[in-house]
Amino acid sequence: MNKTLLIARSEYLRRVLTKGFVLGVLLAPVGMVLLIALPLLTSLISSDDGERRVAVLDESGQLYQAVAEAVPERFAVERAAAPLDSLRAQVLDERLDMAIVLPPSLLTGTGDATAYTRAGGGLAQFDDIRSGVRDAVRGVRLREVGAPAEVQAVLDERPGLQSVTVTDDGDAADGAFVASAIGYVSGFVIYFLVFIYGAMVMRGVIEEKQNRIVEVMASSVRPFELLMGKVLGIGAVGLTQIALWTALGAVVLAALGPLLAAFAGPPAAAGPGAPPADLPFDVGAITALLTPGFLLILVLCFLGGYLFYAALFAAVGSAVEQESDAQALTIPVTLPAIVPMLFLFPMLEQPDSSLSVVLSILPPFSTVLLPVRVAVTDVPFWQIALSLGLLAAAFVGAIWVAARVYRVGILMYGKKATFRDLAKWVRTA
Amino acid sequence: MALALRLENVTKRYDKTLAVDDVSFTAEPGRLFGLLGPNGAGKSSTIRMITNITTPDSGSVTLGGEPVGPASQARMGYLPEERGLYKKMKVGEQLVYLAQLKGLAAPDAERAVREWLERFGAADWYGKPVGDLSKGMQQKVQFVSTVAHDPELCIFDEPFSGLDPLNAEVLQETIVDLRARGKTVVFASHRMEQVERLCDDLCLISAGRVVLRGTLPEVKGRYGRDTATVEFDGADGWIDRLVEAGAMRVLSRSNGRAELRLGPGTRPNDVLGAALAAGVEVSQFGLHAPPLTEIFRMAVEAGESAPPAEPVPAP
């Protein structure tokens, strides 16, 4: 067997056949889901933590009944008998959660209601009280001016906005939202995977140098074979992870789709504090976007970006003896990688601006931004081809430079290498 | 298939330092070749060129008449002074991997690795991670990695460092056995007593240059039998008196035993006479060539005082 392949296979198996890898593949998505679901869950839980006692000091004399009816049920509303000072004291020693003062000026449209609470009450409660007070004031005033019930009904309506994306294949409901979300997630996933696996290459190189096995390896294979074997082996680990995630995602989506639909189906099921009855996206819209072509671009961008950064990371790793020494040298590698993250939102908003077009073609930024742009807009084929072609040229160049640094660096011990040294190694190697 | 290793006028420069300066020697099959020198003399730089990790700036390194390269790498085994293995890999898996990189097919590699581990009484380490082994055990594993692919040329850099006497003995027997099987063995060390015990030929380098070269008897023969070993019972004040008089130098001295290098005008009888006159009981008195350590010291000093390498006859 070819030595590069032998090395790649060993590097691959050494990493994939570990509990850490299996756990990482399984737990990372679980962690991500938890990260999204946890705030939702806690808000559900915290809304059930008993009633909030609210005293209403109605100085207008006309609003109490309407407010008491308009605020959600989890507020236990009572009419305040005491003056404001004593209400404040009750809030302080926790006999009350909130005191609301409704001044007469509310009825003339010139004043504001005031809510007194202890620190740390959370913002959601104010939203509920605010809209309750608004509805109550509006209702009382409408009645006062003698507005007909039809006007009141019209004002109570809450029409929504449905988004539909028009494509050659037909209309897709909620397309814009889903496309942005997918573009955003794709950009992040590529960014993280490229970095996780690039850094893994660097650690591998440092480890070989640190425990001195590199001397034995160099007496058996050419440094370039060792470098490429390692880069390809670890890249294959990354691809395995992507493949497993895709498979896992497909299974979860297939299983969860009907479940979500059932959950969202009967609007009556949505209790207070539950997510809005209509989900902000359509499961069908996701699957419509995740075409084989898009997935192929995703994989190619990961591979291109990975090869580019992994080569540079390997060069840095070969120049140091400990991971802690690598920090200063990795900055020039990691800094340009942050750039696409800064342009992620402008790219989602204006995917066809000339800046977006350039960034999606220019390596190494294109590794993150091309998939983002492809997700949210129709990118001409020539731009995709040019972008991937330039990316290929960039990683070939990066590997060429890295190989020259690497073959000198792995045998250097003792002194800390500087950029000047690295530049010299590239010239003289 | 026996392959001689030949270096001709090999020079290697790093930046401005001349690490290896016009070094030539030949290591013959079936013989143990000692490459000696103090730390920083250029031993490791020389070995790196032999193993084709680096290439000489000028001169040539050949194995069996062919310039070293990827093909010759497969026929060499190299045990570096700084040992290292993949800590998380299992012993067997790692050894098979390293042997495969030397060109062995997987089944052959596995068979050879099992045989060698068996020979070192380490068969049950096969499935253990290297990091779980003791340092001495790891040394043995690394030794196996050097010889498992049955190389024609074996290079051992300080093979015994860090080994207990028992394990050193096992290793030494194995090295002698490799020589008996017609392998070319290069042994780099600064531990002279080991070299003296094992090597057939030696080459001493200092500051990148060859300062001494030849077979062991040849090298020793160049110095007279001017060293005396005395074993005695009693006070050793007579030694100090002779040293103060400039008649000799003490090479080593312990309770009741001394190794003495006689000065130019000093006869062995003078030493023995002084000992007897001091009233000590002499149980043994022997004359021999200076130990290699002493020859090493003189050669290095001579090399430093006379910059152009002294002409030495090729072995």
Q: Most B CBs within 10 Å: which of A12, A213, A411, as the mutation test of the B interface?
A: A213
Q: Give the Cα separation of B204 and B219 in Å (integer).
A: 10
Give the pLDDT score at A339. Answer: 85
Of A10, A14, A211, the CB nearest to B85: A211
Q: How does pLDDT run across A142-198, given as a tens digit for each residue?
A: 888 888 888 888 887 877 777 776 766 566 666 677 788 888 888 888 888 898 899
pTM, to two decimals: 0.76
Q: Give the Cα separation of A191 and A183 in Å (integer).
A: 12
Residues of B in contact with A6 (CB under 8 A): 97, 100-101
Sheet holding B5-14, edge to edge: B17-27, B5-14, B58-63, B66-67
Nearest to B170 by CA among B234, B116, B107: B116
**DSSP code string of A169-187:** TEEEETHHHHHHHHHHHHH
Residues in a beta bridge with B215: B201
Neighbours of A120 (CB within 10 A): 5
Residues in a beta bridge with B287: B228
Give the pLDDT score at A263. Answer: 57
Buried b (16+ CB within 10 A) or exposed e, B136-147: ebbbbbbbbbbb
- B53–A216 CB contact, under 8 Å: no
- A220–B102 CB contact, under 8 Å: yes
ipTM of the complex model? 0.83
- List, for chain B, all residue ranges whose pLDDT scores fall below the cut of 70: 1, 303-315
Chain A residue with minimum CA distance to B73: A220
- B84–A220 CB contact, under 8 Å: no
Q: Does B70 touch chain A (CB under 8 A)?
A: yes
Give the pLDDT score at A266. Answer: 46
Residues of B in contact with A10 (CB under 8 A): 97
Nearest to B109 by CA among A207, A220, A14, A215: A220
Between chain A and chain B, the number of residue pairs with CB atoms below 8 A apart is 55
Residues in chain A: 429
Strands (E), A263-367: none
- A14–B73 CB contact, under 8 Å: no
Give the pLDDT score at B315. Answer: 43
In a structure prediction context, what are the per-residue pLDDT tens digits for chain A, which is 429 residues long?
A: 689 999 999 999 999 988 888 888 888 777 777 776 776 677 666 555 567 888 888 888 888 888 888 888 878 888 888 888 888 888 888 888 888 888 888 888 888 888 888 876 667 778 888 888 888 888 888 888 888 888 888 887 877 777 776 766 566 666 677 788 888 888 888 888 898 899 999 999 999 988 889 999 999 999 999 999 999 999 999 999 888 888 887 787 777 766 666 655 444 433 444 344 344 455 566 666 677 888 899 899 999 999 999 999 999 999 888 888 888 888 888 888 888 888 888 888 888 888 889 999 998 899 989 988 888 888 889 999 999 999 999 999 999 999 888 888 888 877 777 778 888 888 776
Of A10, A216, A220, the CB nearest to B84: A216
Q: Which residues of A touch B (CB under 8 A)?
A: 1, 3, 6-7, 10, 14, 208, 211-222, 411
Q: How does pLDDT run across B203-212, given as a tens digit for each residue?
A: 999 888 998 8
Neighbours of B165 (CB within 10 A): 8
Give the pLDDT score at A393. Answer: 95
Give the pLDDT score at A261. Answer: 61
Give the pLDDT score at A136. Answer: 86
